[in-house]
Amino acid sequence: MTSNFLKVTIERGAGAKNAQRVFEVPAHENQTVLDVVSWIQQCADPTLSYRFACRVGMCGSCAMMVNGVPRWTCRTHISKVLDDNAVTIGPLRNLPTIKDLVVDMDPFFDKWVAAEGMHHGGRTREHPIAPVDEKSAARIEANAGIECINCSVCYAACDTVAGNPEYLGPAALLRAWTLLNDARDEGREAILDAVSDKSGCHNCHSMGSCTAYCPNELDPMSAIAGLKRETTKSFLGRVR
């Protein structure tokens, strides 16, 4: 650290458009972006609203825009993002701001449902447990996406979402692709129908910001490419 204080600019949203406030925050050796925001709320401005829960990168609630990049703030060391000892923190892009750094996640989760991102079970308790072959190609595809923590970083990074608010977005489509490859899920038709309409996977321009910024290093862009292949195969199958 070149100075004992960090210059932290907070963008306070809803109702106070572009209202920026600058804080001087004491610098420490070990400090995450979330630590910095918490210090401001606890020591400088108790009216600052933000969201967090687990602080260890599991719950997906603390994502914010940090110097123009969506990040999970609890696992982002401040030294990684400081620019000339300063940092700008704002609410996530592509979601309505409720207050300060808190965004309304409803559109994000509604799209998970719209993309059929829920389990489609076909068995009852009378049936044996569905066998899962860990080595099958489909299971490997499914496993690649199951660590999503719903943090909405990919959704905030996506320019297609910014241009088309109806677009389901990377997280919901990654979920759909995971379920499509899950041997226990029996909703193949419903998923393919959900992801192939005008708000679906074919909106994606493969810009790759979702994959570039996913904090868990998942690959929604390739998952969406998989959905494009499967929906096209399904369409050609119906035409024939």
Partner 1 sequence: MNAANGIVSRAHPLWLAYVLHRLSGIGLAVFLPLHFWVLAMAMTAPARLDAFLAMSGAGVAKLAEFGLVFLLAVHMFGGLRLMALEWLPWRPSQKTLAAGAAAASFLIASFFLLKAV
Q: Stretches 25-33, 72-80, 170-178, 203-211: which one binds partner 1 (CB under 8 A)?
A: 203-211
Does 22 interact with partner 1 (rule: CB under 8 A)?
no
Does position 48 interact with partner 1 (CB under 8 A)? The reply is no
Helix ranges (H only) for the chain are 33-39, 78-81, 106-114, 137-145, 153-157, 159-163, 170-180, 188-195, 209-213, 220-239
Alpha-carbon distance values, 102 to 89, 95, 99 (Å): 12, 10, 5
Q: Which of 16, 53, 132, 212 binds partner 1 (CB under 8 A)?
A: 212
Binders of partner 1 in range 120-159 (CB under 8 A): 157, 159
**Binding of residue 65 to partner 1 (CB under 8 A):** yes
CB of 41 to partner 1, least distance (A): 17
Examine residue 102 and tell whether it contacts partner 1 (CB under 8 A).
Answer: no
Alpha-carbon distance of 91 to 227, in angstroms, equals 30
Among the listed residues 27, 59, 69, 118, the single contact to partner 1 using CB under 8 A: 69
User: Min. distance of Cβ 175 from partner 1 in angstroms?
Assistant: 18
Report if residue 222 touches partner 1, rule: CB under 8 A.
yes
Site membership for partner 1, residue 12 (CB under 8 A):
no
How far is the CA of 124 from the CAs of 127, 129, 182, 183, 190, in angstroms? 6, 9, 17, 15, 20
The reply on whether position 66 binds partner 1 by CB under 8 A is: yes
Query: Is 100 an interacting residue with respect to partner 1 (CB under 8 A)?
Result: no
Per-residue DSSP letter, 99: E
Q: How far apart are alpha carbons 212 and 105 in whole angstroms?
A: 21
Say which residues have a Cβ less than 8 Å from residue 236's Cβ, sequence separation at least 6: none
Q: Which residues bind partner 1 (CB under 8 A)?
A: 9, 11, 13, 18, 65-70, 88-93, 157, 159, 205-209, 211-213, 221-222, 225-226, 228-229
